[in-house]
Amino acid sequence: MHGTLALPGLVNSHHHLFQTLTRGYAPNQGLFAWLQSLFPLWGHLNPEAIYQSALIGLAELMLSGCTTTSDHLYIVPEGQDSMRFFEATIEAAKRLGIRLYVTRGAMTRGWGHGGRGPSNLIEDEETVLQNMQDLVNRHHDPSPLAQIKVALSPVSLPA
């Protein structure tokens, strides 16, 4: 079409879709003060909240021209099924048709042990490793143009 410009889809290489629901909370703070103010809220997340947050965040990305994103999910409150958290994000991406690299992060050390999170958000290392393996086995598609890929992603060095 004359007078138009076609651009390839944009790629967002770093996102925390679960934070969409709380992005307006605790503004104007440094990173760690902001995180500490949000950890109590994130401690109540469940798969439905993850799904709704992902739908909103992914739709916003698509409206801005993004066709592929990476989502770094590292919050799984105590007592929650971590696989359901990641599958909620994957389900939202499939529903909207956006390509997703879901990255499995985790906090395995809390404040009292050199880490950066409260005890109700700390996961056992063996559980995390097993979940990572299960997530890759169930959802990673290695083909070049796959809609869903899985990557493993630490939160930070002291996590």
- What domains can you pick out in the chain, each with its CATH number? 12-19+29-152 (3.20.20.140)
Model confidence over 37-58: pLDDT tens digits?
Answer: 999 999 999 999 999 999 999 9
**Euclidean distance between CA atoms 90 and 106, whole angstroms:** 17
104 forms beta bridges with: 73, 152
Instruction: Return the percent helix, strand and coil in the chain, to nearest 5.
Output: 45, 15, 40
12 forms beta bridges with: 69
Model confidence over 114-147: pLDDT tens digits?
Answer: 888 899 999 999 999 999 999 999 999 999 999 9
Do 61 and 98 contact (CB within 8 A), yes or no?
yes
Residue 19 has pLDDT above 70, yes or no: yes
Residue type present at position 53 = S
pLDDT confidence of residue 159? 53
